[in-house]
Amino acid sequence: GRKPANPAFWWVSGEGEEVKWSFEELCSLSRKAANALSEACGLQRGDRAVAVLPRVPEWWLLSVACMRAGIVFIPGTSQLTAKDISYRLQASKAKCIITTDT
């Protein structure tokens, strides 16, 4: 038999939940996310997007998707206050913020 390929991405939560993506899966998922940012959100190459998310797999997927689409990825943590977020949005002139309901 063949040895399975090493994953391109391997994430483990604090509770032991695992997410593994092959290079093919990461390529496909990041392409879909880049298309969503460009087409559905109307972002163009050089536009800025702020991400305020915990370090979940989608955070990493989003960073790859932004590189693919030429969008400037501005990371933020879920520990930012409303004042911090407001400052980052104004200072960066971001056209998009990506976050969760919390």
Query: Which fold would CATH assign to domain 7-99?
Result: Rossmann fold (3.40.50)
Report the pLDDT value the prediction gives residue 1, as an integer from 0 to 100. Answer: 64
Domain boundaries, the chain: 7-99
- How many C-alpha atoms does 101 have within 13 Å on its Cβ side? 0
pLDDT of 14 strictly over 80: yes
Interval 41-77: pLDDT, tens: 999 999 999 999 988 999 999 999 999 999 999 998 8
pLDDT of 33 strictly over 70: yes
The model's pTM is 0.85
Report the pLDDT value the prediction gives residue 100, as an integer from 0 to 100. Answer: 86
- Mean pLDDT across 22-35: 95
DSSP output for 23-86: HHHHHHHHHHHHHIIIIIS---TT-EEEEE--S-HHHHHHHHHHHHHTPEEEEE-TT--HHHHH
